Structure 1
């Protein structure tokens, strides 16, 4: 995926990473879709990026944290609800959320709204296979419990959150 060497990363020779729209893999969800833009192997491990669209009030990711990566969300359209540690916050189009490693978080479309998110994780971890598996889980082709042994592989560590459960029940 993508052209360019990514060679500008970490002080290497100048280069650029480009993904043309025709190169983007779309992974369907029941109430939205992932667009897989950049995996860590395409950026020399600097980052991974995807775009996630979610229908009105749809859940995105259940509570989790990352041991290694920051996760940055740019809300491109609509509004998204985020769990950030022990609080929730709704962020409208034009807003940005940056989650450091170790902070439990979750997200979904805000109640009554759809959302379109650009999501960047840095440093990058190979996660395209993870997003494909999430689609399989959402469509009932795979069980969530089958993903649990791979939490370290994807740097996605699931946690429980009564705060998130209560917030999403209100929506």
Structure 2
């Protein structure tokens, strides 16, 4: 009978199970919050789950911005809408995504997102390949609490693979709504 697992000399990686109650919650403005699930900085390929994905659940208050315009040089970013309605700026196009919709942003494409005006949103966000990002989310939490500044994130753009771009297209898209 064949074995249900690899028989090579390569070690079997540990699976990752994060219980909802155990996920770290990072509060943002107006009741929005990140729920941190898996981080590429947790040991890379040796991490439980293999370090292949960075994953968080983002809950956005009514009409709240999720992220200002930025791009990722190394990673694709996947958004699955768990609840509510989200608005995305993908390059220069505004898109609406509702429950069950999937948005995948390739490396290099400037994008921004938030809850659609007058709506809340809950998103499962997956980055691959993973980079260490929990520090980035915690910094955003400190900014929301008035304990730190956004400008202090700017020197960390390469570390977190978050490269900020011109905010004006997103501001225009949001003001039209």
Shared fold, TM over 0.5: yes
Q: 3-state SS of the aligned residue for 1:168?
A: helix
Gaps (5+ residues) in structure 1? 1-10
Aligned to 2:152: 146
Cα distance in 1 for residues equivalent to 2:11 and 2:158: 29
Q: Tell me what 1:30 maps to.
A: 29
TM-score, length of structure 2 as denominator length? 0.86
Inter-partner Cα distance in structure 1 for 2:137 and 2:150:
12
4+ residue runs of structure 1 moved beyond 4 angstroms? none
Shift of 1:45: 3.0
How many correspondences in the alignment?
162
| Candidates 94, 119, 127, aligned match of 1:121 | 127
What does residue 21 of structure 1 align with?
20
- Which protein is bigger by CA-based radius of gyration? 2
State which of 93, 112, 133 in structure 2 corresponds to 1:87: 93
CA distance in 2, matches of 1:12, 1:117: 33
Please, what TM-score do these two structures have when normalized by structure 1? 0.89
In structure 2, C-alpha distance between the alignment counterparts of 1:85 and 1:115, rounded to whole Å: 21
- For the residue of structure 2 that corresponds to 1:67, the secondary structure is coil
Q: Contact (CA 8 Å) 1:87, 1:163: kept in 2 or not?
A: no
Aligned partner of residue 51 in structure 2, secondary structure: coil
Q: State the Cα distance separating 1:70 from its structure 2 match.
A: 0.4
Q: How far apart, CA to CA, are the structure 1 residues paired with 2:13 and 2:167?
A: 44
CA distance in 1, matches of 2:106, 2:94: 16
Separation (CA, whole Å) in 2 of partners of 1:125 and 1:46: 9
RMSD across aligned C-alpha pairs, in angstroms?
A: 1.7
Could you tell me which runs of 5 or more consecutive residues in structure 2 were left unpaired when the two chains were aligned. 1-9
Equivalent-residue separation in structure 1 for 2:20 and 2:57 (angstroms)? 12
